[in-house]
Structure 1
Amino acid sequence: MYDTVAAVVDPELRIVTIDDLGILRDVTVDGSHVTVTITPTYSGCPAMDVIRADIRHALGAAGYDDVEVVTALRPAWSTDWISSAGRDKLAEAGISPPGPSRGPVALTVRVRCPRCGSPETEELSRFGSTACKALWRCRSCEEPFDHVKAL
Structure 2
Amino acid sequence: MAIAGAVPDPEVPVLTIADLGVLRDVRIENGQVHAFITPTYSGCPAMNLIALNVEVALEEAGFTRVKVTTVLSPAWTTDWMSQEGRDKLRAYGIAPPAEKATRRALFGIEEVACPRCGSADTEKISEFGSTACKAHWRCRACREPFDHFKCI
Calculate the TM-score normalised by the size of structure 1.
Answer: 0.94
The runs of 5 or more residues in structure 1 that have no matched partner are: none
Counterparts of 1:51 and 1:65, CA distance in 2: 18
2:63 matched to which residue of 1? 64
Per the TM alignment, residue 109 of structure 1 is displaced from its structure 2 partner at its CA by: 3.0
C-alpha contact (below 8 Å) 1:91/1:114 kept by paired residues? yes
Calculate the TM-score normalised by the size of structure 2.
Answer: 0.93
1:120 matched to which residue of 2? 121
1:43 matched to which residue of 2? 42
SS at match of 1:98: coil
SS at match of 1:20: helix
1:107 matched to which residue of 2? 108
Output aligned runs, 1:132-151, within 5 Å.
132-151=133-152
Corresponding letter in the other structure for 1:49: N
Corresponding letter in the other structure for 1:112: A
| Structure with greater helix percent | 2
Runs (4 or more) in structure 1 with deviation over 2 Å come to: 105-109
Per the TM alignment, residue 100 of structure 1 is displaced from its structure 2 partner at its CA by: 1.3
Provide the aligned C-alpha RMSD in A. 1.4
C-alpha contact (below 8 Å) 1:23/1:38 kept by paired residues? yes
Name the CA shift for 1:13/1:106 in 2 (closer, same or farther; >3 Å): farther
SS at match of 1:27: strand
Counterparts of 2:71 and 2:118, CA distance in 1: 36
Tell me the matched-pair count: 149
Counterparts of 1:83 and 1:125, CA distance in 2: 26
Corresponding letter in the other structure for 1:85: E
Counterparts of 2:98 and 2:64, CA distance in 1: 38
Name the CA shift for 1:5/1:106 in 2 (closer, same or farther; >3 Å): farther
Aligned-residue identity in percent:
54
